[in-house]
Structure 1
Amino acid sequence: MYRLFLFLLFFTLSLFGRYDAAAVKMCPAFDNMKHTKNTGHVVLHPEESYTVLQKHKGQMLLLLKGENPAQRWVDEECFSEESKNTESKKKIAYTKHTKKYENSAKHQDLLLALSWHNAFCETHRSRKECQRSLFSFGKNSYREDRFVLHGLWPQPREKVYCNVAQDLVSLDKHRQWNRLPEPELDAKLKEELSKVMPGVISNLHRHEWIKHGTCYGSGAQNYFEKAVRLTEQVNRSKVSQFFLRNMGKSVTLQQVRYQFDSSFGKGAGKRVELRCYNGLISELWLHLGSEGDDLASMLKNGKAIYSRCQRGIVDRAGYGR
């Protein structure tokens, strides 16, 4: 009876000790007090309310319904007003830095990564951009017989997250791309980007802007306009025609580079790298120089590159080779 009384007393105190509080900053929610594990990469979001179970040594135990485990530990500063003021200053600073950076465009080497969408979907069948319409009746969609945009990456590759707040970096690294800010693009460019980058439906464009676009040297509109135009130039070239003719067949790096030379000038092919996975050509990486507005001149000024992949199959639409 005494034990039952103590249990009921503890349960009652725990129940009444609970309260809801709004987070003031983005924080990871850990399974334990030592912060060594975060199952599901759960993150708190500013201005959302959470149930607080208890406080202990600068930490708070929360009840997050729908998560497993549901009880999570976070730093107390995630809910403090002082932290909120600090975060506001950080956001203001981020906005100012971004605007300043947008007005200081610099020429730099770039890497244009183009995916062969059919090969991508062989190993990413559950992705939204890989779902085929029930009314396609065997006809290939735009993305299934052209190269699609993966990204345009300022070089060197280590140059990422320029002037980006740490909370956004954390979201990106945990692949919570749906919570990243939408790049500011006009309606026409949004439509064009959705066509050449099927991954927009999975918020790939938000990831690419935060990680790489912020280092481009100008705003999102200019960054994605450049990426779209360069992708379209490849898809209008002999390179794209060559891949269409050889779907289901194995082609060599030498053949691909020859097509680039024929389309964009002698030596262009030396700047092209094949990326392969499980015997399939998954991507083309084009190493572009800093000078020029079109693909031919940018390839001419790019760096010659060694390609580890020397041969691969051009995958057909649908699953299986």
Structure 2
Amino acid sequence: MKKLLFILIISLSSLWAKGLVQAIDSCEVYNNIKHTKNINNQRLKIGNSYQIIREQNSQYYISIKNTSVPNRWVDKKCFKNSANSNFTNKRVSKQQLLALSWQNAFCETHRYVKECKNNFSKRYTDTKFGLHGLWPQPRDNIYCGVSSENKKFDKRHKWGKLPSLNLTPEVIKELKEVMAGYGSNLHRHEWIKHGTCTNLTPNSYYKKAISLTKQINDSKVGQFFTQNIGKSVTLEQIRFKMNASFGAGSGKKVEIRCQKGMITELWIHLGSGKDNIKDLLKDGKDIYSRCKNGKIDKVGF
């Protein structure tokens, strides 16, 4: 009996951890460990320190000051020096690839996908590029610090089973606009496979990717695609518009991906460490494009 009691005490003590942790992301904090209830929609404040009351698997039970229900559950990855957030990718490249999707063409070849079943509704990506992903290079620089279980979910396209990213309401709103596949949890897939290798938080990663997408859409390149919907255009024309928008040589950093005669994606090879796409293009690598021309598809089947 005494032996069993001793084991129980040791087991319980392993669940309780006193100390402070510093938030590195504005994650939601929940009233239950299943993350289904958040009274008053409370979130961590980046930079603030929080008292750990209890630790269980990938969760902390922490104390939140100045709220009616102060004790909350939250993912460890939201804190500095936690098992997940402390991972540093030593292979972070100076090169990255911004993959932009022309959603109308994507849906022509993927009609079974959730976001393509109703390809007639008015949306941002009807006339502009959508965000596919921002990929650290080289291409095999993927799944950094990701568990084997989450890799398995991702590779089997069970993206709904991947961890929630605890994105801020502002980021979610913008991401839903520029990423048509948000409803299919494309954002979770892109983070697990590529974002984990950037040494950024999910919020910072997507803020950057959204900004780069909009910089392209607001440029002469984006305007060129919008004005030529339904027409066929050439790689030479697209590269000319890139040069006009971002400076001589920018066009050589771009390749177009095509399928069934349609331009499905624009791949832009960038440097890193900056936020302005014009500066990033200066450090990007020149690239060969197999596809030389294609149609800019319009919305609908």
What TM-score do the two structures reach when normalised by structure 2?
0.71
- Residue 251 (structure 1) aligned with residue 237 (structure 2): no
Deviation at 1:264, TM superposition (A): 1.0
> Aligned with 1:161: secondary structure?
coil
Percent identity, aligned pairs only?
49
Cα RMSD after superposing both structures: 2.5
Q: 2:186 aligns with which of 196, 204, 208?
A: 204
Does the aligned pair in 2 maintain the 1:104–1:217 contact within 8 Å? no
- Matches of residues 11-22 of structure 1 in structure 2 within 5 Å? none
Q: What's the CA shift string for 1:92-151, capped at 9, x where partnerless?
A: 9x95343113699966311000000100000111222124388x5xxx421110000000
- Residue 176 (structure 1) aligned with residue 158 (structure 2): yes
- Residue 155 (structure 1) aligned with residue 137 (structure 2): yes
Quickly say closer, same or farther: Cα 1:104–1:241, change in 2 above 3 A. Answer: same
Quickly say closer, same or farther: Cα 1:152–1:292, change in 2 above 3 A. Answer: same
Match in the other structure for 1:215 = 197
Supply the AA of the counterpart residue of 2:95: D
- Give, in whole Å, the separation in 2 of the partners of 1:133 and 1:304: 35
Match in the other structure for 2:87 = 101
Supply the AA of the counterpart residue of 1:172: D
Match in the other structure for 2:294 = 312
- Give, in whole Å, the separation in 2 of the partners of 1:157 and 1:297: 22
Does the aligned pair in 1 maintain the 2:230–2:298 contact within 8 Å? yes
- Residue 120 (structure 1) aligned with residue 106 (structure 2): yes
Match in the other structure for 1:301 = 283
Deviation at 1:240, TM superposition (A): 1.2
- Matches of residues 175-194 of structure 1 in structure 2 within 5 Å? 175-194=157-176
- Give, in whole Å, the separation in 1 of the partners of 2:235 and 2:216: 16
Unaligned runs of at least 5 residues, structure 2: 1-33, 35-55, 61-75
> Aligned with 2:86: secondary structure?
helix
Q: What's the CA shift string for 1:228-278, capped at 9, x where partnerless?
A: 000010111111111112111111101001111111111111000100001
Deviation at 1:292, TM superposition (A): 2.4
Q: 2:97 aligns with which of 108, 111, 125?
A: 111
Q: 1:166 aligns with which of 138, 143, 148?
A: 148
> Aligned with 2:110: secondary structure?
coil
Unaligned runs of at least 5 residues, structure 1: 1-46, 48-87
- Give, in whole Å, the separation in 1 of the partners of 2:91 and 2:59: 22
> Aligned with 2:258: secondary structure?
strand
- Give, in whole Å, the separation in 2 of the partners of 1:221 and 1:291: 16
Q: 1:234 aligns with which of 216, 228, 238?
A: 216
- Give, in whole Å, the separation in 2 of the partners of 1:291 and 1:163: 22
Does the aligned pair in 2 maintain the 1:103–1:218 contact within 8 Å? no
> Aligned with 1:209: secondary structure?
helix
How many residue pairs were aligned? 228
Quickly say closer, same or farther: Cα 1:184–1:108, change in 2 above 3 A. Answer: farther
Quickly say closer, same or farther: Cα 1:160–1:116, change in 2 above 3 A. Answer: same
Does the aligned pair in 1 maintain the 2:92–2:136 contact within 8 Å? no
Quickly say closer, same or farther: Cα 1:144–1:104, change in 2 above 3 A. Answer: same
> Aligned with 2:132: secondary structure?
strand
- Give, in whole Å, the separation in 1 of the partners of 2:95 and 2:166: 24
Supply the AA of the counterpart residue of 2:250: A
Supply the AA of the counterpart residue of 1:159: N
- Give, in whole Å, the separation in 1 of the partners of 2:147 and 2:238: 40
Q: What's the CA shift string for 1:11-60, capped at 9, x where partnerless?
A: xxxxxxxxxxxxxxxxxxxxxxxxxxxxxxxxxxxx9xxxxxxxxxxxxx
Larger Rg: 1
Match in the other structure for 1:264 = 246
Q: Which runs of 4+ in 1 moved over 4 A?
A: 88-92, 102-107
